Structure 1
Amino acid sequence: MTDNDSHGLDDFRDWPEEGRVFPASSANIQVLDGPHPFCLSDADEIAANWQREVTANPALFDGQMVFHRQLRVSGGAIEGEAHVVPYSAFLWWRRKADRRGGVHLFCYPVLVSADGALIAVTMGSHTANPGQVYFAAGSLEPVDIVDGRCDMEENMRREVREETGLDLLTCRSDAGFHAVRLDRTIALCKLYYFEETAEQIVASIEAHMEVAEDDEIAGAVIIRSADPSAYRYNAAMLPVIDWYFATVRT
């Protein structure tokens, strides 16, 4: 890895402090050809860890995802480069204590009901995060790449549609994004406002679960406060719900 590659990845000196939600006018991620350097440097560890992962959870699937080589903040915009990697490489990176070698950006659609609540989901028992509560979301995948760059909003629409049956094209949304950094992971957020109440949205999600082809989610939850003990939250949820209830819903 060159010095240029490491700038903005290893020290985050140009980023707002960890855990603070900040506005991001845009997100421009170029997907490069060829293997991610992390996949080459940690190939043996990735293979060994994958065997441990599938032994513990045989339902895991080693698909493909977008994993970032470096990310920068420039003039309020997030920019960077990434590669398509096997999911097994990401799982090993996530297990590492220092998480050197890469950085993970994922899209986080924040669903807001007409009565001001947030709607999240509980992940199914066979997923990589069983029982955790977070917004319907997933890592960027090859299908989200358009002309060599990641389409963030299409990723959000696809993930929400697949997991909940909801259509984000029917919602009003804020311009631009917000983002938060936690332990070399960037959650790229966008607020989507529904005309239905929280109870109506949850009923719609439950109806979708009855006909969905898989059981990726175990249910939907209504969030009406920033109480961190209300649910078994994924770590990325906590700064987002704090920010929403403190500054957005006033």
Structure 2
Amino acid sequence: MSFDLPRNIILPVDAVDVRLDPGPHPFERDNAQAIAENWRRETVANPALFDGTVVLLSALSYRDNSLVGRCHAVRYSTFMLWRGNRHVAGAEHAYAHAMLVAGDNALVAIRMARHTVNAGRVYFAAGSFEPTDFRDGLVDVDFNMIREVREETGLDLAGATRGRRYYALSTATGTVIFRRYRETASADEVAQRISAFVAAEAEPEIDGPVIIRNPDDLPDGLMPHMQPLIEWHFADKD
């Protein structure tokens, strides 16, 4: 299967069949020394890094409006080496975005804190899939979305209105799976709630909320994959 999906186009996704393979990822198995050496450099530059567990794809395809793939649990240090060598065959990254839509149709994103790997970058609250996001070996995308938004912003999207399907955008840097989550409160009200949560955290993951009111209202530090998602939203797709 390997990686077989259209790139740089937003795709409708009715099902995500990405499964967790209990075996080691070939990239981690074959690069142990390089992973250790790179991790030493990374932690010297940023001592706040933690070598937890995330997942890395070994295959992903798009067919019949479904994403079908295979991934493996890897150490974060493995992910960091891959991150600097994204052209490596046989390994790619997928992650999920809860596209937070306020009652006034503005989007609410976040800016990452200075101690994080993506310091200062703006995107929707999100994180890599972790083994806890899988149910009987199958990824639960909405669980990941809700968990990451809660951890980073304090918001609970469990009761929010969800878009009727997922969408995906695959680029050279990875594949983002996204879905609208609609709040009834205005963007300013949602941002105030996030700011209050951040102020109460000892070491928050984010600096705070970023409101995007139209496709020309693009903040500094916006991650490249975000612009097509923003344009898609304000073009009233779905």
**Do they superpose with TM above 0.5?**
yes
Q: Which amino acid aligns with 1:59?
A: A
Q: Which amino acid aligns with 1:209?
A: V
Corresponding residue for residue 231 of structure 1 = 220
For structure 2, which runs of at least 5 residues remain unmatched after alignment?
Answer: none
Corresponding residue for residue 68 of structure 2 = 79
2:212–2:218 CA contact under 8 A, matched in 1: no
Matched, 1:70 2:83: no
Corresponding residue for residue 37 of structure 2 = 48
1:23-172 aligned within 5 A: 23-96=12-85, 98-172=87-161
Give aligned-pair identity as a percent: 38
After superposition, the C-alpha distances for 1:146-190 in whole angstroms (9 at most, x for unaligned) are 111211100001000111111111210112200001115110001
After superposition, the C-alpha distances for 1:15-64 in whole angstroms (9 at most, x for unaligned) are 23x22111111111110112101101222221111111111111010100
Query: 2:14 & 2:120 partners in 1: Cα distance?
Result: 33
Match of 1:195 among 184, 188, 211: 184
2:13–2:165 CA contact under 8 A, matched in 1: yes
Corresponding residue for residue 174 of structure 1 = 163
Q: CA deviation at 1:238?
A: 1.6
Deviates more, 1:154-163 or 1:169-178: 169-178
Q: CA deviation at 1:235?
A: 1.9
Q: Which amino acid aligns with 1:34?
A: G
Task: Give the aligned CA root-mean-square deviation in angstroms.
Answer: 1.5
Query: 1:54 & 1:79 partners in 2: Cα distance?
Result: 34
For structure 1, which runs of at least 5 residues remain unmatched after alignment?
Answer: 1-6
Pair 244,99 (structure 1): closer, same or farther in 2 beyond 3 Å: farther
Q: Which amino acid aligns with 2:75?
A: P
Query: 1:194 & 1:82 partners in 2: Cα distance?
Result: 32
Q: Which amino acid aligns with 2:85?
A: K
1:103–1:185 CA contact under 8 A, matched in 2: yes
Q: TM-score if structure 1 supplies the norm length?
A: 0.91
Q: CA deviation at 1:99?
A: 3.4
